[in-house]
Amino acid sequence: MSAWLRYHYPSEYLAGLLNAQPMGFYSPNSLVQDAIKHGVVVLSPDINLSWHDCTIEPVVADPEDILEYLGGTWRRGRGPVDDPVRPAVAVRLGLRYVRGLGEKEIKRIEAARILTGPFTSPEDLAHKTGLDAEALEALAASAALQSLGLDRRDGLWAAGALAELRADRLPLAVGTEPPQLAEMSPEEEHRAELWATSISTSHPVSFVRDQLDDCHTTASVHELRRTQAKIRVAGVVTHRQRPATAKGVYFLNLEDETGMLNVIVLPDVWAKHRNTVRRSPALIIQGRLEHHDGVTNLIAHDFEPLSIQTVQSRDFR
């Protein structure tokens, strides 16, 4: 999947891929996860900065902030290290990715900003757009209301009261002031992002990594380059495939916070573990490593379900 990031402008290319969805083999979340490992900065939706589509905007980034991944080096927000140092940019997620926002709602948001300028408060947003509670909750969960002074949890609290405002009423809402609420943990923020946009800039496996001491990361698996090595890996399943020409062999893509790994499931192994492999969104897999001509695969022998929340896999497409 990383081949597309060989382009000299990976941020712009990621925005183009996200704006062309639905298309291709990989989900928007997998595209974003891969892009972040190559130094692309991805920003959450913002009610005053996001448009319908994903856009490119300047971002503050240290030119010495360098990432290494699969043999390549990247300046965060700037592209490959070998390129001339360019101004740093980020991908801002578009409103199209916020659940509950259709074409009609997005046009109302954009028109209000064009005609009267940025929204100045949550009440101003609700009064000018007439968004319903579902849309306001999703905007809050995606962090799109932070520029109006509402973090995720406060925004979710206020959404119901804000939804009562309409253009024919005074922009006054009772019940928008939240009580003292605890901030969301990083894992709770991750789950809120997935619920609101199906895209997260963090990875669910990172929150349980300390419980996976006996499991390799996918990045360390690619570094092993040892055929016949018996290992355990853990990750979310992004795809399940059974090509008609594969004689009953199944193929999985397993993703963790460090990358992605190809997993091969032979027919007898699939038959033995079918329910676990087919239904579990995330798995711990034990198997034998196979490395040939620069390609690394894991021949699976055993499976355990891994209890984490993630996006739905793209199966048998």
Shared domain for 191 and 251, answered yes or no, is no
- Domain of residue 58, residue span: 2-97
Shared domain for 134 and 74, answered yes or no, is no
- Give per-residue pLDDT as tens, 128-155: 999 999 999 999 999 999 999 999 999 9
Domain boundary among 132, 164, 197: 197
Domain boundary among 76, 97, 118: 97
Shared domain for 24 and 117, answered yes or no, is no
pLDDT at residue 170, as a whole number: 53
pLDDT at residue 4, as a whole number: 47
Q: Model-level pTM? A: 0.84
| Rounded average pLDDT per 10-residue block, the chain, 317 residues | 56 92 85 92 97 96 89 89 90 96 96 96 92 94 95 89 70 58 86 94 93 91 78 92 82 92 94 91 92 86 87 58
Between strands 295-305 and 259-265, the pairing is: parallel
The number of distinct structural domains making up the chain is 3
Alpha-carbon gap, residue 316 to 308, rounded angstroms: 22
pLDDT at residue 190, as a whole number: 92
Shared domain for 242 and 288, answered yes or no, is yes
**Number of residues that make up the chain:** 317
